[in-house]
Chains A and B, each alone.
Chain A
Amino acid sequence: MVVLKNLSTEELYAPGHRLCAGCGPSISIRMALKAARGPIAVVNATGCIEVSTTIFPYTAWRIPWVHALFENQAAVASGLEAAYQSLEEQGKRKGKVDVIAVGGDGGTFDIGIQAISGMLERGHDIVYLCYDNEAYMNTGIQRSGATPRGAATTTSPAGKIIPGKRGMKKDFTGICAAHGISYAATATIGFFSDYIEKMKKAIEVDGPAVIHVLAPCPLGWRSNPTDTIKLAKLAVQTGLFPLYEVNDGIYKMSMKPGKLLPIEEYFKLQGRFRHLMKPELKDELEEIKKDTEKHYKKILRLAGEKVT
């Protein structure tokens, strides 16, 4: 249980960055850094966070930070961690630095997945943090493997024939857990105590750990910036984004499963789902609800919870 007044007031992440007003990923980064136990080095993929926080000569980072390319943050982090180990063993440097590789859903689910898989398989002591705003937001809201079914993006628009993105959201946490790592978890900025605790656990793991945090994007989701936290909570409460941990392959729900809120509560606040509220797309909405329930029950079963 995270007590806010006990969190450090030291801000490792400075204001003055160019992220949108109400930016979910920005909140996710700030909260993640509050989980630091000592020095941190961040390896950041190309994306909203990277570009908007480091427009030369302004940087919002008060910790060692590097941006390499779009898809190789896991590989760069691997090299950095190996360098620290090698130099430490040879007595050429001293002091533990927690290496955190950060990527958006674009740089994680799609183009970056190879490097992440390699990093997990090699067992580096790195935390991988994926801030998921469910599309390639930085380049203008194009669909990604993390875009949920039915969402309208610029490359999966809600058109006359095809009503938004086809296909489900990739199960990234499941992919990571399948590598046999000791800790992977989903989180959301809406429930900060759960998220920061999970981040702390991930940092403490001696080996790779993955945190997949849902971070709403008001611009891309066509929502009110004021609703960012509300949406982050609703995604969980409607069963669309279940919160769970995978400890050494064993799934555990983070919130007691109860009655789920209707998906419309979540969709109606976002422009990207507005088309699904129309009567002619009733069937599509029903399909999405069925898929959501199926996925949620799958996670419940994996976690050993009773499924009605």
Chain B
Amino acid sequence: MNKKEPLSERMKLSWREMPFAGIMFEPGSSVEYKTGDWRIEKKPQIDGEKCIRCFICWIFCPDVSIKRVPKPYKKHTESVEVDYYHCKGCGICAAECPVNAIEMIEESKDVP
């Protein structure tokens, strides 16, 4: 577990040290924020064998939480994985998968 203080706490600095003009100088700093905690009932599970690597789930995810990873499988050079740290459980990936390779399963207590 990451025991470091969250960015929002670390940025509670004196006015002298706050970033100039309220600018956020670090690109993509939102990755630190765990939106995966928003899931309440279900999370997506991808069946790597059924998956045809069409990447439709990848393009439709509003939370950039389906990642294309360089893991070869049969004739495919890539695979897809869920980023559970950020996935909000909307279920679009499961609904749009053309081969029903994604199932929304019960959220279990030991999510990383």
Chain A residues within 8 Å of B60, by CB:
27, 189, 192, 229
Closest partner residue, chain B, to A59 (CB atom): B24
Chain A residues within 8 Å of B96, by CB:
229
Task: Find out whether the CB atom of A30 lies under 8 angstroms from the CB atom of B64.
Answer: yes
Q: Using a CB–CB distance below 8 Å, which chain A residues touch chain B?
A: 4-5, 7, 9, 11, 13-24, 26-27, 30-31, 34, 53-54, 56-63, 189, 192, 218, 225-230
Chain B residues within 8 Å of A54, by CB:
24
Task: Find out whether the CB atom of A61 lies under 8 angstroms from the CB atom of B27.
Answer: yes
A-B contact pairs, 14 of them (CB 8 A): A4-B54, A5-B55, A13-B64, A15-B30, A15-B65, A16-B35, A22-B92, A57-B7, A57-B11, A58-B7, A58-B24, A59-B24, A61-B28, A63-B27
Closest partner residue, chain B, to A4 (CB atom): B55
Task: Find out whether the CB atom of A15 lies under 8 angstroms from the CB atom of B86.
Answer: yes
Closest partner residue, chain A, to B70 (CB atom): A9
Task: Find out whether the CB atom of A16 lies under 8 angstroms from the CB atom of B95.
Answer: no
Total cross-chain contacts (CB, 8 A): 119
Task: Find out whether the CB atom of A57 lies under 8 angstroms from the CB atom of B24.
Answer: yes
Chain A residues within 8 Å of B68, by CB:
9
Taking a contact as CB atoms closer than 8 A, the residue among A31, A34, A59, A226 that contacts B26 in the complex is: A59
Instruction: Knowing that A30-B59, A225-B90 touch, tell me 6 more A-B residue pairs with CB under 8 angstroms.
Output: A11-B64, A14-B30, A16-B32, A21-B38, A27-B60, A226-B91
Task: Find out whether the CB atom of B86 lies under 8 angstroms from the CB atom of A22.
Answer: no
Task: Please tell me if B62 contacts chain A, counting CB pairs below 8 Å.
Answer: yes
For A4, A15, A225, A227, the residue with the greatest tally of chain B CB atoms inside 10 Å of its CB is A15
Task: Find out whether the CB atom of B63 lies under 8 angstroms from the CB atom of A17.
Answer: yes
Task: Find out whether the CB atom of B95 lies under 8 angstroms from the CB atom of A56.
Answer: no
Chain B residues within 8 Å of A228, by CB:
62, 90, 92
Q: In whole angstroms, how far apart are the Cα atoms of A289 and B61 in the complex?
A: 32
Task: Find out whether the CB atom of B62 lies under 8 angstroms from the CB atom of A19.
Answer: yes
Chain B: interface size category? 35 or more
Task: Find out whether the CB atom of B31 lies under 8 angstroms from the CB atom of A14.
Answer: yes
For A4, A11, A53, the residue with the greatest tally of chain B CB atoms inside 10 Å of its CB is A4
Task: Find out whether the CB atom of B54 lies under 8 angstroms from the CB atom of A226.
Answer: no
Q: How far is the CB of B67 from chain A (nearest CB, A)?
A: 8
Task: Please tell me if B29 contacts chain A, counting CB pairs below 8 Å.
Answer: yes
Task: Find out whether the CB atom of B64 lies under 8 angstroms from the CB atom of A57.
Answer: no
Q: In whole angstroms, how far apart are the Cα atoms of A7 and B95 in the complex?
A: 22
Task: Please tell me if B2 contacts chain A, counting CB pairs below 8 Å.
Answer: no
Q: In whole angstroms, how far apart are the Cα atoms of A49 and B63 in the complex?
A: 12
Task: Find out whether the CB atom of A59 lies under 8 angstroms from the CB atom of B35.
Answer: no
Chain A residues within 8 Å of B26, by CB:
59
For residues 43 through 95 of chain B, which have their beta carbon under 8 Å from a beta carbon of chain A? 53-56, 58-65, 68, 78, 83, 85-86, 88-92, 94-95
Closest partner residue, chain B, to A57 (CB atom): B11
For B61, B78, B94, the residue with the greatest tally of chain A CB atoms inside 10 Å of its CB is B61
Chain B residues within 8 Å of A5, by CB:
53, 55, 78
Closest partner residue, chain B, to A17 (CB atom): B30
Q: How far is the CB of B73 from chain A (nearest CB, A)?
A: 14
Q: Which 3 A-B pairs give the minimum distances between C-beta atoms?
A: A16-B30, A22-B90, A21-B88
